[in-house]
């Protein structure tokens, strides 16, 4: 089984200000066809609107109804930056 990079990333809704940290992982083999991006857990008030194996295409929905890209306006948790 291939190893996975795991990291936390802050999500923040631009509409209502709801925020929290998502736990995510992706394949650490750069030769793969796709990164096999997976959201392992989301903070309260967020859910996956449209999943994708690419973090820049994965869509999140806030409890207020606002939908945004996973990578839009996110901040890494202290020490949670992906290792590249």
| Mean per-residue pLDDT pooled into runs of 10, the chain (84 residues) | 83 94 90 89 97 94 95 57 52
As a whole number of angstroms, the distance between CA 51 and CA 45 comes to 17
As a whole number of angstroms, the distance between CA 4 and CA 1 comes to 9
pTM (2 decimals)? 0.77
Q: What is the pLDDT of residue 79?
A: 59
Is the distance from CB of 60 to CB of 46 less than 8 angstroms? yes
Q: Which residues is 12 bridged to in the sheet?
A: 19
User: Which residue in this structure is represented by tokens 């940290």?
Assistant: 21
As a whole number of angstroms, the distance between CA 3 and CA 64 comes to 36
Smallest CA-to-CA distance from 70 within 80, 78, 83, 60 is with 60
Q: What is the pLDDT of residue 68?
A: 93
Q: What is the pLDDT of residue 74?
A: 45
């Amino acid at each position: 089984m291939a190893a996975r990079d795991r990291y936390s990333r802050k999500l923040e809704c631009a509409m209502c200000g709801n925020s929290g940290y998502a736990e995510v992982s992706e394949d650490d083999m750069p030769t793969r066809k796709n990164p096999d991006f997976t959201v392992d857990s989301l903070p309260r008030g967020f859910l996956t609107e449209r999943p994708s194996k690419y973090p820049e295409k994965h869509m999140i929905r806030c409890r207020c109804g606002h939908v945004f890209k996973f990578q839009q306006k996110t901040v890494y948790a202290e020490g949670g930056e992906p290792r590249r």
